[in-house]
Each structure stands twice: as structure tokens, then as C-alpha cells.
Amino acid sequence: MDRERLDKWCEWGIIGLVLAILVYGPLAIGAVRPLDFLVIQALTVLALALWLFRIWLVPSHRLFWPPICWAVVAFVVFAGVRYWQSDIEYIARQELLRILVYAALFFIIINNLHHMEPTNIIVFTLVFLGVAIAIYAIYQFATNSVTIWHYPKPEQYAKRASGTYICPNHLAGFLELVLPLGLAYTISGRFKPVTKILLGYASLVILAGIGVSISRGGWIATFLSLLVFFWVLLRHPSSRLPALLMLIVMLAGATVFVWNARQTHKRFQELFVAGGMENVRFLLWRPAYVMWQDHFWWGVGPGHFDYRFPAYRPADVQLRPELVHNDYLNALADWGVVGTAVVAVPWLLLFWGLGRTWKYVQRNGSNLSSPKSNRWAFLLGGGVALLAILLHSFVDFNMHIPANAIVVVTLIALLTSQLRFATDDYWVRLRWWLRGLVTLAGLAVLAYLGWQDARRWSEYGWLQQVKATRDYTNERVELLRKAQAAEPMNPDTVYNLGENLRGLSWLGNAGYEDLARQAMNWFELGMRLNPYDTYNPMRYGMCLHWMGRHAEAEPFFEKALKLDPNNYYVVAHEGWHRVQLGDYAGARLWFEKSLKLKSVNNLIAQSYLGIVTRKISEQK
């Protein structure tokens, strides 16, 4: 077999793997679960291996290296440095792995899929995937479906469509990335009439999918980005009429939907009523801002916002936030000014490259400059799609949803590759030493991702078996030990080990003291792996009380309260701690405070408050 044919097969293999990643992520509820991201990570490793093979297969293989590539490398290096400096190694490593996957995909796509044929294949795949998901979302909305695939839909998203995502806002984020591509290819692409009609209908279905998500952030981002889209098209005489017709049809459809959908009216009213628009989202912004101010330059660490949040928790937020619901504030909190600036540079270079290519398109008299050009259509559609997600990121965290982030990375890589039409300056000839350097770097990333993938698969397998067992059983403890052996740095597994041993000890059977000591050892390790976790010191103190060492428990409850002073559960346990010490008057104050923080479903405070009130009455 000749090298050119084998090289072509490798190229199509890479295209197939990238398409598999792009399709699998959105269908697998956004690839937010560990298993789904492991699949994407494994596919990325295979695609990277094929690219490295291509580098050596064809001696004339060149590297496309525009300025944005240096910015991406700089961010990967910065992320690696921050990983080594992080307080919670396991969490920072998961963030680093995601960044490595995204960076690997960026370099794979920009150097292997830069021709228009694979670009068109990707666009068509995304558009018709968007149609399929949008149709499913419309079905959910029309039938008031309470499931996403076979998973129960969270109660807070009732009467809203989320398609194959858990959160409707992330469905809107995906569809707003796809919609401009479909519209641009419909109006300005060079395709047969039947194809353009299908693309037009697909775009309208996708718009309907955004509508039934009832995502105000998605609506606003779509509206503003489409203003830019149609403004550009209406300035071109040859595309003015079809653009105007499409705009009229879309406005008519949107008007009918808003007029007839009760849920839409409700969401619009909440937008302007004080306290109505998902208060928790805005309540998170203030602590995120304060967190950033306290760690101005470097941030709290990669992926650390959720773990550092307890110390900044407002009394009104008793849930675990996970993310800020604002990608910009989240970046500042996690990465600081320096890291956010490093993240911003690739975006600035992207739009600089788009401007340079756009100028070339505008002043060149070739077919490329015609509004009826696939290259021009992709440049317009892709640029507007990224604008939409950047706007939406002010009120949501789409960039933390792997499926959506990968679509963004793909569009950035494909748009950047359009620079090759404006200049040949960024093609690099791969001499033997440079070929070797690229291969070594690629093999290092490939080996690390592969090793971590295998390691996480093992941990995931044991943790899945843990879910099938009951709490506080020897079987569960043994499975947790195996999961911890597979991944020793996971603080959640360590805490669960300690908690299950504590529960077994509290049964009071023979050997309960030894079980309590084992639990304390795990809680102590948990405090080292995650120094910001509240429950490890709190449970450690509870074990001390259980063993009759009451005086020694005080500093551990003080530490828990210092780490999360406005957590109703921690405050209630401070009251429990006071009960063990016989301080009933003090305990009552803590239980009352806990009930002020959360008045319902607060069993510890509710049950113990009556007990301590009776004890105080008896003492009188």
C-alpha cells in the first residue's frame, strides 16, 4: 500500500473520531458524567495517535502554526503550573485533563481538518445533530416529559425542555452554536436547492429548540448574535432578499411561540420582577467576586471554586453551587487575573485572525468573496456562533459543559485554519528535529491521557459497584477501599470510607472503637487531601465524642464552623456538639440559628431543639 493512500485513511480516521466526539458529547447528556468524558478522552487519544503517525508517514507533512497556537500552548503550560501549586490535587488534575483534551483536539483539528470538505462534513453533522436534539426537546415540551433519556428530569426544570442535556440552559447553549451555521449555509452556502431547503427547515427547528428551552440567557444571546448575523447579510445585495425572507419567517415563528406559550410569559415576567429570576444564580456572583478579590492574581486554583465556596457562602444559599453561573467570574475565581488573561489571549487572536481573513474575503474578487461561498458562510456562521456563546456565558456555564466546550474548540480550530486562505506565513516545514520535538510532546500528552484514562476507568468501575450497595455495610467499605486504591487522591472516596466506618462503629457492636479509630484515620487523610472540606473535621469530632473523648472534639468543630460558617448542617452539628458537652443553652442558640438558615427539611435542628428546650426546663 502506498503512503498517500494510507495517509488518506489516517486522515479519514481522524475525521471519524472527531465526528464521534462531537456527536457523542451532546447525546451523552453533555458528557458531564465521568464515564462519558472518559469515552471522549479515549477517542482523543486515538485521534492524537493517528496524527502522530501521519507526521512520520508523509515526509512532506507540514505543521500549521498561527499565533493562536502559541497562546494555547501557553495556557496548557500555565494550567500545568497551577496544577502543581493547587491545594486539592485530584480536582486540579481533572481540570488539567479537560484542558489537555481540548488542547489536543484543537491541534488535531487545525492540522488535519483544515480543508473545506471536512469542515462541511462537521457543519452538516452538527446541524442535523442539532435538529435531532431540538425535535426531542420539542417533544419533551409538548408532552411535559419528566425524563431525559431514561433519567428523571430535575424538578426545577419541569415544563422546560432540555433535550439530551440535564439543564435546559445548556441545550440552548449547544443549539445557539449550531443555529448560525445552519442559517449561514442556507443563505450563503453553495449547495443544491434541495440541500439548502433542508438546511433552512433544520435552522427553524433548531430555533424552536432554543425557544422550548425557556432559557432567557439563551434567548438573549441568540437574539443579539442574530442581529449581528442579519446585519452582515443585509449589507450584501446578493444575499439581502433570502436573508430578509428568513428573518421574517423566524420573527413570525418566534412571535407565535411567545404569544401562545404560558411558560414563556412567566419566564419573561420573572425577568423583571425583583427576586424572581433564579435568585441563587445572582447570589453566587457576589461571593465569587469576593473570592477573586482575595486571590486576585492567581485565583483559588483550577476547578476549586466549589470547594472554596463554603467560606464565602451567603446565608441564603444552602445548596452546593458547583459553578458560578457566569463563566467570566468563574475564570477569575479559579485562575485569577493572570490565568484569565492567558485564557483571553487565544480568543483575541482568534478574532484578530477572523478580521484578517475577513479583510481578505472582502477585497478579493474571487469566488471566496462572493456571498455564495461555503468558506464565507462558515466564516460568518462560525464567528456568530462563538459570539452567541460568549454572550450566554455572562449568565451560565456552558464552557464547563464538555460537549459544548468541545464544539467551541472545534469551531475555533476550523475558523483559525481559514487564515491559510489569507497567507502562507504560518505553514511550518517539519525538519527532522522539529518532527521529533512535536512527536515527543504528542507522545507525552498521549501517554498521560491514556494512563489517566485507565486509572479513572478502574476507579469508576469500583465506584459504580459502591452505588449498588447500602450505606454502612462491610461490603460497601471493601468496595470503597478498592476504589481508593485505584485513585488514592480522591478526597470524596476517602471521606465516604471514613463515613461508612463511622456508621458501622455507631451500631455499637463489638469492635466499635477500632472502627471509630479507622474512620478517624480516613477523616484525617481527607483533611490533608482537601483542607477546605467541612465534613471531615466535623465527623472526626463526632468520633471523638462517640469514644468519650469530649474535650478533644472542640477544635474540630471549631474548624468545621470556620470553614463553612453559614451552612445549616454544620451549624446544627455545632449544636449537637454542645449537647454532648452538656451545654444545652448554647446548643439551643445553634439549633435556632440552623433553623433560620433552613427552616424545612432540617431534621437535626428540629428534633434536637425540642430535646434541649426540655432539658433547660428540667434544669430550672
For 84-142, the pLDDT digits (tens) are 999 999 999 999 999 999 999 999 999 999 888 999 999 999 999 999 999 999 999 99
Q: Kindly state whether residue 508 falls inside one of the protein's structural domains.
A: yes
To 10 degrees, the CA torsion angle through 227, 233, 235, 240? -110
Print the domain residue range for 531.
445-619
Report phi then psi at 171, rounded to 5. Answer: -60, -50
Going by pLDDT thresholds of 50, 70 and 90, the confidence category of residue 251 is confident
pLDDT on residue 281: 81
pLDDT on residue 432: 86
CB of 537 within 8 A of CB of 523?
yes
Do 387 and 510 fall within a single domain? no
Whether the pLDDT of residue 356 is over 90: the answer is no
Give long-range contacts, CB 8 A cutoff, 24+ apart: 194-199.
199/127
Q: Kindly state whether residue 54 falls inside one of the protein's structural domains.
A: no
Q: What is the CATH number of the domain that holds 527?
A: 1.25.40.10
Looking up cell 459553578 gives 323
What ranges in 506-549 are assigned the alpha helix state H? 512-529, 535-546
Do 474 and 573 fall within a single domain? yes
Q: Kindly state whether residue 223 falls inside one of the protein's structural domains.
A: yes
How far, in Å, CA of 561 to CA of 574, rounded? 8
7 burial type by CB count under 10 A (0-12 exposed, 13-18 middle, 19+ buried): middle
Q: Kindly state whether residue 351 falls inside one of the protein's structural domains.
A: no
Do 469 and 385 fall within a single domain? no
Going by pLDDT thresholds of 50, 70 and 90, the confidence category of residue 276 is very low
Whether the pLDDT of residue 169 is over 60: the answer is yes
CB of 52 within 8 A of CB of 413?
no
Domain boundary among 359, 380, 396: 396
Do 382 and 498 fall within a single domain? no
Do 223 and 148 fall within a single domain? yes
What ranges in 213-326 are assigned the alpha helix state H? 216-234, 237-260, 262-272, 279-294, 305-308
Q: Kindly state whether residue 196 falls inside one of the protein's structural domains.
A: yes
How far, in Å, CA of 499 to CA of 484, rounded? 14
pLDDT, one tens digit per residue, over 470-508 is 999 999 999 999 999 999 999 999 999 999 999 999 999
What ranges in 530-567 are assigned the alpha helix state H? 535-546, 550-563
pLDDT on residue 60: 79
Do 594 and 451 fall within a single domain? yes
Report the range of poorest mean pLDDT among 109-123, 154-168, 348-362, 396-410.
348-362
Number of Cβ within 10 Å of residue 478's Cβ equals: 14
Do 386 and 486 fall within a single domain? no
Tally the domains of the chain.
2
Do 381 and 503 fall within a single domain? no
**By percentage, how much of the chain surpasses pLDDT 90?**
76
Half-sphere exposure of 312 (CA within 13 A, CB side): 23
pLDDT on residue 516: 96
pLDDT on residue 273: 46
Looking up cell 430550672 gives 620
Do 375 and 476 fall within a single domain? no
pLDDT on residue 271: 47
Do 386 and 488 fall within a single domain? no
Do 237 and 170 fall within a single domain? yes
Q: Kindly state whether residue 605 falls inside one of the protein's structural domains.
A: yes
Q: Kindly state whether residue 22 falls inside one of the protein's structural domains.
A: no
Going by pLDDT thresholds of 50, 70 and 90, the confidence category of residue 250 is confident
Q: Kindly state whether residue 77 falls inside one of the protein's structural domains.
A: no
**By percentage, how much of the chain surpasses pLDDT 70?**
94
Whether the pLDDT of residue 270 is over 60: the answer is no
Do 248 and 383 fall within a single domain? yes
How far, in Å, CA of 380 to CA of 188, rounded? 9
